Chains A and B, each alone.
Chain A
Amino acid sequence: MFRHAAKLLRRPVPTTSPAAAAVSRRPFSSDLPAAETADPAFVEAWKKLIPNIDPPKTPLSFMQPRPATPASIPTKLTVNFVLPYASELSAKEVDMVIVPATTGQLGVLPGHVPTIAELRPGLMSVHDGNDVTKYFVSSGFAFIHANSFADIIAVEAVPIDRIDANLVQKGLAEFTQKVNSASTDLEKAEAQIGVDVHSALNSALTG
């Protein structure tokens, strides 16, 4: 396993020469400057040729520029919570959002480090002052940007008061039984998913 170790240790470290360092260090996507809204070269050329008429709008000028990363940490987090069929929260300013990531409950405050998190079936809570709104999210992703914008996308998310506890218990019992009686890998995986989702629903209702 370590046959190649000597060769790998002997190769030159990439950051020794400044030219190589500039090439090998890739910028993070959060380091990009705010996108341009108009092509300056085009506007220049137009003004030279036709100074009286305003230059026409290009598709670039209709796009909203990415909100710049503020120099100091903003006081509120802007949340966009979308589902395939509806936009639950659209640019809502809140204090904190707790999302159920696969790596555990992720609490997002303004000024959070840019993160992409895959969500697992679990409870998501939106905290604004003293109000807490809880949703059960089936799965999805959370993108947290450097400018304290959080985009949370989920396939299915319901406020927890719409969940029926009896159906959850029945489902849990049914899938635990299926896990034990499953034969193929795929059946076992499906039954395991059922157990995971129903136990998450259960703890969301009781927790």
Chain B
Amino acid sequence: MHGMRGLSVFISEIRNCQNKEQERLRVDKELGNVRNRFKNEKVLTPYDKKKYVWKMLYIYMLGYDVDFGHMEAVSLISAPKYPEKQVGYIATSCLLNENHDFLRLAINTVRNDIIGRNETFQCLALTMVGNIGGRDFAESLAPDVQKLLLSSSCRPLVRKKAALCLLRLYRKNPDIVNVDGWADRMSQLLDERDLGVLTSSMSLLVALVSNNHEAYWSCLPKCVKTLERLARNQDIPQEYTYYGIPSPWLQVKTMRALQYFPTIEDPHTRRTLFEVLQRILMGTDVVKNVNKNNASHAVLFEALALVMHLDAEKEMMSQCVALLGKFIAVREPNIRYLGLENMTRMLMVTDVQEIIKRHQAQIITSLKDPDVSIRRRALDLLYGMCDVTNAKDIVEELLQYLSSADFTMREELSLKAAILAEKFAPDLSWYVDVILQLIDKAGDFISDDIWFRVVQFVTNNDDLQPYAAAKVKEYLDKSAVHETMVKVSAYILGEYSHLLARRPGCSPKEIFNLLHEKLPTVSTTTIPILLSAYAKILMHTQPPDQELQSQIWAIFNKYESCIDAEIQQRAVEYLALCQKGAALMDILAEMPKFPERKSSLIKRAEYSEADTAEQSAIKLRAQQQTSNALVVTDQHSANGATSPVPVGQLSLVKVPSMITTENDTSSDHTLSQQNGALSNVDPQPPSADLLSDILGPLAIEGPPDATVQSENNAASGLEGGSDAIDGSAIVPVEEQTNTVQPIGNIAERFHALCLKDSGVLYEDPYIQVGIKAEWRGHHGRLVLFLGNKNTAPLVSVQAIILPPAHLKMELSLVPDTIPPRAQVQCPLEVVNLRPSRDVAVLDFSYKFGTNMVNVKLRLPAVLNKFLQPIQVSAEEFFPQWRSFSGPPLKLQEVIRGIRPMPLPEMANLLNSFRIMICPGLDPNPNNLVASTTFYSDSKPAMLCLVRIETDPADRTQLRMTLASGDPTLTFELKEFIKEQLISIPTAPRAPAPAAAPPAAQPTPQIPPNDPAAILAGLLS
């Protein structure tokens, strides 16, 4: 093999080529030569063939495509003699890929070599299949390769190749390994004494267990035994000892295999393994010899990974972190590198985060390491370990490092700094500072996402606006300003510079001049932003400044004929608008708040993290962890409107849009309107419902509504008993100590949730409690979403359900702590036993800082949730109605104090409670007939029928008749509907006469057989 003179001559000729062109000519000449020789194959000796094939391979390595000779290479495989066969196999595996058609032609020959007696042929064939064998090979050769691997008569040289060949075939088609049969054999293979075969078998095992560890449990103790044998250096031949360390590769592979088993149950095996691991962890020192160091630390780092995987005791984990802490400070750069890398992996084990933080200073030092690889690892680690407590320090370090960082790292660095600043900002002004610094220092690397985001935050937070405006002005005062800074400044100053107007140097004119100075330096994409800013500045200038106006108009005039369409359009439009005067105010008014949305930055970061999914044991484990985790960071559902908790980890925005949208939707129902609307009700003598008077204006109900609330209670109390649905009475007095103000009206939220199945139940500055429910018959499944809005954890979280007697409720475990910006889901199962209007209460408390917050919240597991609307025809209705002959199954009541509403509205209201209006059953247009079914655990579904007769002359009273097969149900449902009709406030006083049909309307001609007429007769 060495000693092909022709090859050597060719190589030296190539080496003597002065330039690439000469080399190409020489290569082309040689390829032509080889091609010709192959054509006249008969005269080629095996030696010649071999020489030419090696020339081809050499040319291929130099980067030239060798697109001929493939057939020749494949056909050589079937040559009877070793030299030609060898050349055939080598050329085939170098030049062809597994999808090559010619390969299929060779399968039979290859198989013959594998099952033949010639071990050198077997090795050649296995090597080729192991390198490029595809599915076809897998299907036809797997049994033979397995036989070779297991054969006791085969030499280790063949068997180790067979093991890896099988691995390749298994990857191509996992079905070739029959799990049931193979697991035992695999286990036997691990008893192998030859370390070469054992190493290959271990690689095979790693591939098998990574797909299906369950089948290979029997291999686990064997792995531990192997590891023990190596670690104790028992019976290890000299040639497998590498710098005094018994085969580090086999140790590493064995520990890798063990990481694919989720746990080790057998206590004896576990103990043995931990002893070995402890020995590795403690017995490894940094020595002078680099190779010995590398080998011993290869084993050590793998042991660390295994310890992490096995969820060792906290003590051992701390030991590991301590070791890593030592490593990141050693002289040996490889160890420093891996120390940082493994610390990053270790972050997945939540327990050790605090211990890792102790090394923060050293990690920050590593940001200045002379080796860029190490700096990168340090950056990754800092990024991973960042949380609210250290965000300020870390982000500021990153900003500082930005100025000196390698060009290649700046983009990543600035992106990471931006993400961390957003995720963990202790306050928003700091966030603005960070982003502006980023733009200032690394403007070229700041993507649009980053500056869009800061604009969103500023727009959505009123108190941030003057600060941001002042800040960007400071940057503009500098001599050299990055274009991105001009964009942000123009936007922010356009919107908010008027807030600064009284400060020195901030008059509209000065701001305009400051911005306009930059115009000649910016590109066409920035000019439109500047033009908008000018228009806004002009609009905000009060009293108008004629000079400024003419200056700005001149600019618009100039750009009216700009070649860039966007600029031109803006100039034309702004000019026209400016001349419109007052209309300008509306169009150029401040930008509305942005809808709360997930940061595209963070989305991007998550995407790229997901992108690098690796099938390593560590990654698999990480995936397992997230799938089991209670904590979900962001719960946006596809249809954003029904998203139960819109505030995900990023809701820095103080006023989440959900609140507004929710109000919008609920106003559609005209249900949960401002309670204040109640004061429109005709003044009724206030009832002596002292309890609700005292308890009404509770802190948690929100002070703006407090007085209204009591009126509400007073009004709803007019029917006597305290209003169960409006359960302010359930809030105990001692909770007055709450200093945390809820956002939004709790009662309103509850009412809204009585009608829909998802929404916010409670919100304050720290937490948002969302709810999502599914109802099926008498079963309900609610999920409580507890979202921590803060950058600090909420602790002592407690949720206790106080169920009424008629509901069986089971709340799954609520975690004691909610991590920063995380959301926890707690499912709640509900079973309805009997009809009742009592309401379940959630006693919820948490601690934030020194604030202990406790609220009692009504849960919307109300009567109507267990109703199913049913459309009843006249044929079904009348016999039923008749069969419920009177009290207690059929109850009738005249109700006064009804909130006046048009009939269609009342019909909608009933429908929204799942009590279905059956139109046409009652001939009187002032009456409503409705039906529904009620589900409970104790009885089959019960039909309920309702009839409401209204008086067009006095909309504050009506007569309601309710019938069902269960006296309790009849009573409860009647009371329930009554409560809704009385306590439901409506916002505008609807022009009742318009909606309600005039009483004078001619009565329609009713045929004698009309069921409605019969009904009317029955009812009267």
User: Is chain B a partner of chain A in the same complex?
Assistant: no
